[in-house]
């Protein structure tokens, strides 16, 4: 009886669920598929990012010592790593968003075009983030 496979993958099913055929291990990665996943992942990262920004605004309203602590934490190695991740996220998500707005108007669906804009979005995310960080260090002097 324990060898009988459940005929439905209902999460509340008490019997062992049927095994799924492999997909992520088998399906060849496409840049468009990665772009879609990355758009969602960077969206989640930016959700946390806004909470950090709101935290910063709150410390600004609370006074110089609270704000100073916030800036010290953001300037720490871990803080800078988080900021860089957020920078890549915002620039990638921006490029991906523009790409989706083009899709909404019906443009850009040819596979060659969709692939090219997907690669361009990834490149923009990283290059723009690096540029902003270089700019920030130059301002620091």
Partner 1 sequence: MGDSSYRTPLSRARGLGSAHDGVARFISERATSVALVPLSLWAIYGALKISHAGYAGATAFLQSPVNAVLAVLLIAVTALHMKMGMQVIIEDYVHQPRSKIPALLLNSAVCWLAGALGVFSILKVALLGAGAH
Q: 96 near 121, Cβ under 8 Å?
A: yes
Q: Using the rule CB under 8 A, is 33 a contact of partner 1? A: no
Closest by CA position to 94, among listed 120, 123, 125: 125
CA 118 to each of CA 84, 96, 99, 105: distance values in angstroms, whole numbers, following the listed order: 21, 7, 8, 17
**Which C-beta is closer to partner 1: that of 1 or that of 134?**
134
Binding residue (CB under 8 A) for partner 1 from 31, 97, 119, 126: 97
Residue 3 or 81: which CB sits closer to partner 1? 81
Cα–Cα–Cα angle for 132, 135, 137, nearest 5°? 115
* 13 interacts with partner 1 by CB under 8 A: no
Q: Name the site residues for partner 1 (rule: CB under 8 A).
A: 11-12, 40, 43-44, 46-47, 50-51, 53-54, 57-58, 60-64, 67-68, 71, 90, 94, 97-98, 100-101, 104, 132, 135-136, 139-141
């Amino acid at each position: 009886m324990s060898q009988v496979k459940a005929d439905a993958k209902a999460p509340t099913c008490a019997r062992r669920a049927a095994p799924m055929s492999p997909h992520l291990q088998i399906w060849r990665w496409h840049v468009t598929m990665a772009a879609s996943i990355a758009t969602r992942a960077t969206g989640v990262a930016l959700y946390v990012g806004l909470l950090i920004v709101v935290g910063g605004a709150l410390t600004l309203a609370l006074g110089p010592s609270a704000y100073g602590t916030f800036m010290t934490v953001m300037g720490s190695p871990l803080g800078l790593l988080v900021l860089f991740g957020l920078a890549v996220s915002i620039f990638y998500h921006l490029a991906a968003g523009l790409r989706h707005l083009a899709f909404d108007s019906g443009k850009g669906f040819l596979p060659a075009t969709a692939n090219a804009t997907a690669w361009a979005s990834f490149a923009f995310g990283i290059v723009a983030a690096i540029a902003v960080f270089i700019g920030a260090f130059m301002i620091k002097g």
